[in-house]
Amino acid sequence: MQKSYLITTPIYYVNDEPHLGHAFTTLCADVYSRFLKIQRKDAFFLTGTDEHGMKIAEIAKEKGKSPKEFCDEISEKFKKTWKELSIEYDFFVRTTDKYHELAVKKFIEILKEKNQIYQKEYEGLYCVGCEKFLTEKELENGLCPHHKRAPLKLREKNYFLKIQDKLPKIKSLVETGKFKIFPEFAKKEVFGLLEQGLEDLSISRDKERVKWGIEFPGDKSQLVYVWFDALINYISSVGFARNKKKFERWWQKSFVVHFIGKDILKFHAIFWPAMLLCAKIKTPNQLAVNGFFTVEGQKMSKTLGNVIRPKDLIERFGVDATRYLILSQFPFGEDGDIKMSKFAEKYNADLAFGLGNLVSRVLNLAKKQNINLKKTLVQKSIENEVKRRKNNYQKFLINFGFYESLKEIWHLIHFCDKYIDKEKPWEKRENSKKVILNLGYCIKEISKMLSPFCPQKSKEIQEQIQEKKLEPLFKKL
C-alpha cells in the first residue's frame, strides 16, 4: 500500500496576529505538502490555532473581550492570512473545538487506565509567556530571558505524567532513525536534553488560577495544561476521538512530519512522543525544525515595532513573489536575518529579470518565428541538463532543502539565458527553431518545478505557453 503523509505546523497562539515567523514555518509545510501531492503521494496538511491557557485569558481581558470571542477573532485572522498566502491546508484545528476537547479527555482516560498519571504537590517558577515552568538556572536577573518578566512562584497539587521511564525508548527511536530529527543541531540538542534527564510532566493546573482551558476528567478543580492540550491537536484533528478509519489512515499508517521552530523542540521531541508512548499510540516519524530569523539584526517584537506581517509583503510584491522571497533567504534549519531592502533587490534580480525575462524572451522568439511551443521537442543534451537539475531539486526538497531546491531552478534559468546568448536564435539561423523548442521545453519544466513554491505563477507560465495569456509575470519595481 502507498505510504501516506501527515504534514503539520505548530498550532499558533492567538495572543498575536500572524507574522512572518509564523508564515515561514507554515509556508515550508505548505510547499512540502504541495510537493508530495504533485508526486501523487497521499498527503494531509494540518494547521490551526492554540487557544487555551493563562496567556490568552490575560490578553482577552486586556482587550475587554471574553476569551472565546477573542480567540474567534484572531483564529479568523490566521485563516485569512493563510488564504492570502495561498496556503492550501486540508484542515484547520482549533483547540476550543468540541472534537478536540473530546480527544483530550479520551487521551487522559487512556492514560488513567494505563496507570500513567499520579498526583503530586509541586512548587515551581512559571512563565506565563512561555506557558511552562522554568528552573532558577534558566532565569536572567530573576526574569524569563525570552519574555523579560518575572515568573510566578507556584505551589499546587497537580496531575503528573510518568514520562521519565519513556526517555530511553525515545533515545533509541532517535538513534535508530525511526524518529528522524532534521537538522543535525536539533538532533544533538535532543540527545543533550535526554542526557540531562527530565522530571515527570505536570499536565494539569489549578482552576482557581488558570481559568481558561479544558476541564481535567474526573477532577473539577483542575484544568488540562495548555501544552498537553495543544500537542493532542495532531491526533484530535485526524479522528482520534470519533473517526477510527480516519485516525488509522492519517496517524497510525502515515509518515508523520511535524514542522516546528527550534523554540518548541523539547515539547515535540520529548514530551509529545513520551505522551504517546504512555498511551501506547504510534509516535511521529519526523521533526523538521526551522531556525529563527531576525529583522535587520533584531528580534521581531511589537515593542521594537519591527514586526513584519505577511500582508505587508503581499501588498508590495504579490503572493507568489512573497512566497519565493521568504523561502529563498536562507536554508531551512538555519537562523537568518531579513532585510526589506534585500527583498526588493532579489525581487528585481530573480523574478522580474531572471524568471520573468526568460519566459517573455522565449515566448516572443516563438511568436516572431511562428513556432508552436505547445509541442514538446527537445535535444538530448538539453533534456539531460534539465533532468540533472530536476533530480537535485527533488533530492533537496524531500529533505527540506527549500532554499537549495529553489537554487536548482535558478541554475536552470541561468543555463537558459546563457544558451540563448550563445545560440542567438533571434538571428533566425538554420537551427533557431530547434533552439526555441528546446527553450520552450525548459520553461515548461521550470514552471512545473516552481509549482509548489509559486503555484499561481507556475500556472501563468503554462497559460502563456498555451497562448491564453500574455502579460509580464513580474513587474519591475
Catalytic residue among 71, 144, 416, 454: 144
Looking at the chain, the number of H-run helices and the number of E-run strands are 19, 15
Total residues interacting with ligand MSP, rule: CB under 6 A: 20
Q: Is 127 a known active-site residue?
A: yes
Kindly list the distances between the CA atom of residue 355 and the CA atoms of 38, 80, 173, 362, 410, in Å, as whole numbers in the listed order: 22, 29, 43, 11, 8
Query: If binding is defined by CB under 6 A, does position 400 make contact with ligand MSP?
Result: no
Q: Is 146 a known active-site residue?
A: no
- Binding flags for ligand MSP, 221-260, as an x/- string (CB under 6 A): ---------xx-x--------------------------x
Q: Which three cell numbers stand for residue 312?
A: 505587508
Question: 394: burial class by Cβ within 10 Å (0-12, 13-18, 19+)?
Answer: middle
Smallest gap from Cβ 31 to ligand MSP, in A, equals 15
Smallest gap from Cβ 49 to ligand MSP, in A, equals 8
CB 291 within 8 A of CB 263: no
| Distance between CA atoms of residues 365 and 361, nearest Å | 6
Residue of 5, 6, 22, 473 that binds ligand MSP (CB under 6 A)? 22
**Window of 288-296, 348-356, 397-405, 421-429 that interacts with ligand MSP by CB under 6 A:** 288-296
Q: Is 19 a known active-site residue?
A: yes
Nearer to ligand MSP, 7 or 436 (CB): 7
Query: If binding is defined by CB under 6 A, does position 310 make contact with ligand MSP?
Result: no
Which 39-98 positions form the footprint of ligand MSP (CB under 6 A)? 50
Kindly state the helix (H) or strand (E) to which residue 99 belongs, with its residue range: helix 98-113
Catalytic residue among 127, 278, 416, 454: 127
Q: Is 144 a known active-site residue?
A: yes
Q: Is 454 a known active-site residue?
A: no
124 three-state secondary structure: strand
11 three-state secondary structure: coil
DSSP for 384-402? Answer: HHHHHHHHHHHHHHHTT-H
CB 85 within 8 A of CB 28: no
Residue of 29, 104, 214, 300 that binds ligand MSP (CB under 6 A)? 300
Nearer to ligand MSP, 277 or 420 (CB): 277
Cis geometry, peptide bond prior to residue 183 (ω within 30 degrees of 0): yes
**Window of 19-27, 114-122, 280-288, 302-310 that interacts with ligand MSP by CB under 6 A:** 19-27
- Binding flags for ligand MSP, 423-442, as an x/- string (CB under 6 A): --------------------
| Distance between CA atoms of residues 430 and 395, nearest Å | 38
Smallest gap from Cβ 170 to ligand MSP, in A, equals 17
Residue of 263, 385, 404, 463 that binds ligand MSP (CB under 6 A)? 263
Residue of 54, 144, 264, 355 that binds ligand MSP (CB under 6 A)? 264
Identify which of 162, 163, 167, 159 has the alpha carbon closest to the alpha carbon of residue 203: 159
CB 263 within 8 A of CB 227: no
In the block, cell 519591475 appears at 476
Residue of 261, 273, 356, 401 that binds ligand MSP (CB under 6 A)? 261
> Which ranges of 267-317 would DSSP assign to H, the alpha helix?
272-279, 310-317
Residues forming contacts to ligand MSP in the complex (CB under 6 A) are: 10-13, 21-22, 24-25, 50, 230-231, 233, 260-261, 263-264, 290, 292-293, 300
Positions annotated as catalytic residues are 19, 22, 127, 130, 144, 147, 299, 302
